Amino acid sequence: MPASANPVRAAVVDFDGTICEHDVSEEILRAFATPEWMDIDIRFQRGEIGSRECLIRQGALLEGTRRDMLRYALDRYAIDPTFAPFVAWAQDVGIEVAVASDGLGFYIEPMLRSAGVAGISILTNEVTFVPGERPSFFLPNAHPVCVGCGTCKMQAVLSRRDRLGPVAFVGEGHSDRYGALYADVVFAKKHLVDICRADGVTFHPWETFDDVRTGLESLNGSPEWTGPERCPGWKTP
């Protein structure tokens, strides 16, 4: 552990709307899917379906090749310019950074690479496009029992907590709820602010990763963990 080590040992970070200001999965759906994808999204945002069902039903509406969708994303969207310096700082002070994303996922590694970010874990869903067939999903980061989410952000946080120590979670949206519930330190913006308030989760507001770095640098000793007994997602059928 470096001499200047931060009390937080890992940071789990959402991608769409967080590392990238845009929700790239949504933009791909807007361009390559029929408009019903929005109705499915609203049902997810209302809590009527889990993110896993949302993803699979929206994915079935996509028409196009992975290559065209990736080109579309890379030509139009870039990651937040403050993320690469944040990762470099985090690595210097011994914070392991992981991306946890419950979207289409395939564009994350190429977008990070094009911004010079490498060597961090990416936990997301895997989608395969076969011409003439519905896309198929493989969910290597799903919870072994709970079927609510595609990628379990609770598990992403808790596995790092067990292995490394206190975990920070950085996010902005509905799919970040359970990551925030279980993290030691939460950075929230946009929808996640209201969700944290409703769940009674203390959070730091943030706009850029410079704010996240400042917030982590200003921690006084180890944060106190207040995670709940069990993820409310377990109630999702």
Q: Site residues (CB under 5 A) for Mg ion?
A: 14, 16-17, 173
Please report which residue ranges of 108-202 form alpha helices under DSSP H.
Answer: 108-114, 153-163, 177-182, 191-199
In the complex, what is the shortest distance from the CB of residue 17 to Mg ion, in angstroms, rounded to a whole number?
A: 4
Compare residues 21 and 210 and give the one whose CB is closer to Mg ion: 21
Angle value at C-alpha 127, between 97 and 22, nearest 5 degrees = 55
Compare residues 14 and 53 and give the one whose CB is closer to Mg ion: 14
CB 160 within 8 A of CB 9: yes
In the complex, what is the shortest distance from the CB of residue 176 to Mg ion, in angstroms, rounded to a whole number?
A: 6
Compare residues 5 and 42 and give the one whose CB is closer to Mg ion: 42
In the complex, what is the shortest distance from the CB of residue 23 to Mg ion, in angstroms, rounded to a whole number?
A: 6
Residue type, position 8, single letter:
V
Compare residues 21 and 68 and give the one whose CB is closer to Mg ion: 21
CB 88 within 8 A of CB 63: no
CB 125 within 8 A of CB 150: yes
In the complex, what is the shortest distance from the CB of residue 192 to Mg ion, in angstroms, rounded to a whole number?
A: 8
CB 134 within 8 A of CB 59: yes
